[in-house]
Amino acid sequence: MMGSVKFVCEYGASLCTEECGIRHNPYTFRQYCCRGCVMKNVCSLPSGPSSCSGITLESAWEVRADMSYDIVRQAPGPRRGLSLVRTWGGEGSVQLQSHDIFDLVPSSLLVVEDPQIRRWRCCREPWCFWWFGFTVNGPPILPLHHVMNVPAHDDEHRDLKTIFDSLRRVASAQRCFASAAFGMLMSKWRVHWEGVQHIGRHEQKVQHIIEQMRDRLDRKWPVGEMAGKAGMSERLFRDVFERVTGQSPKRFHTNLRLATAAELLGLGIYNVSEIAERLGYSSPYHFSKAFRRRFGTPPSRV
């Protein structure tokens, strides 16, 4: 590692000079304060649309950091999506705006809401990790704000490198492949994690309720009724549900309905009123309001 003399870029972020041999994209450091330099910090960004099957991979970073690596956000991040951190060497930590701290060791996996991230730093060098920024149309594949221990499978590093390289390609099909492969990898991690932790009786009941949710998207389902169906108290049901999905039962059900709405709109054979009726909304107005709040655009423009 070479010298770590720093200068301040136009966005007010502290970056390493060219002496350290690391090229920085100033945009990625906007609103951040970076102390020290890193041994490897390579970013892959798509040059155009990269969405596939409801997942849009927006950025991928491969980082190898020493103890000087300590990044603090001066303001909430500009992204509204999720961030996934996969650690394969050393130790690091991620701190949220709520001051909750997640310690990340080899084989750990963490998914968090990007705007909630306040700080991330190396705790034992070299901290070697992959960092992915993405959005998902519907409930996330992996639970949020929960550190999972998932040992790497034989081809994982190769898969991660393929995703990284595909995302920066010019061809749209390759960028979309990156998002699809990333979704497949998250599913692999989820299956392995659930197999390792041996899903408990309460978790199995929550999964059964989620399956029933998919069959009754056209009607409201109070959380108390869900809990009764699962044979649990409402408080216990809420706790287990949030531990499994990272979301409250109501929010999960709402996101599931709206994700289905987005898919139906994409088919181009149903209008807004028909979809509102199929999904049990009291009126097209209430459906459009919920859709816009979730996706930032009215359903009529999808």
* Three-state SS letters, 267-297: HCCCCHHHHHHHCCCCCHHHHHHHHHHHHCC
Could you tell me if residue 13 is inside a domain?
A: no
pLDDT of residue 100: 93
Q: pLDDT value at position 35?
A: 46
pLDDT value, residue 2: 29
The residues near 174 (Cβ < 8 Å, ≥ 6 apart) are 166
Does residue 32 lie in a domain region? Answer: no
Name the residue range of residue 125's domain: 41-197
| 156 within a domain of the structure (yes/no) | yes
Q: Rounded to whole angstroms, how far apart are CA atoms 37 and 206?
A: 45
Same domain for 85 and 71: yes
Predicted confidence pLDDT, tens digits, the chain (302 residues): 223 323 222 223 333 333 333 333 333 333 334 444 456 777 888 877 777 778 999 999 999 999 999 999 877 656 679 999 999 999 999 999 988 999 999 999 999 999 999 999 999 989 999 999 999 988 888 999 999 999 888 899 999 999 999 999 989 999 999 999 999 999 999 988 877 555 678 888 998 899 888 888 888 889 999 999 999 999 999 999 998 888 899 999 998 899 889 888 888 888 999 999 989 899 999 999 999 988 888 888 87
Give residue 176's pLDDT: 93
Determine the 3-state secondary structure of 229 from DSSP.
Answer: helix
Instruction: Give 186's Cβ-side CA count (13 Å radius).
Output: 26
Consecutive H or E run containing 198? none
Cα–Cα distance measured from residue 259 to residue 73, given in angstroms and rounded to the nearest whole number: 31
Structural domain count of the chain: 2
In a domain, 18, yes or no: no
b/e per residue, 129-139, with b = 16+ CB within 10 A? bbbbbbbbbbb
Cβ contact 295:258 at 8 Å: yes
The pLDDT value recorded for residue 107 is: 94
Clarify whether residues 188 and 223 are in a common domain. Answer: no
Contact 102, 110 (CB under 8 A): yes
Compute the distance between CA of residue 87 and CA of residue 90 in angstroms, rounded to an integer.
8
Instruction: State whether 73 and 131 are in the same domain.
Output: yes
Residues 151 and 221 in one domain: no
CATH of the domain at 242: 1.10.10.60
CB–CB of 53/186 below 8 Å? no
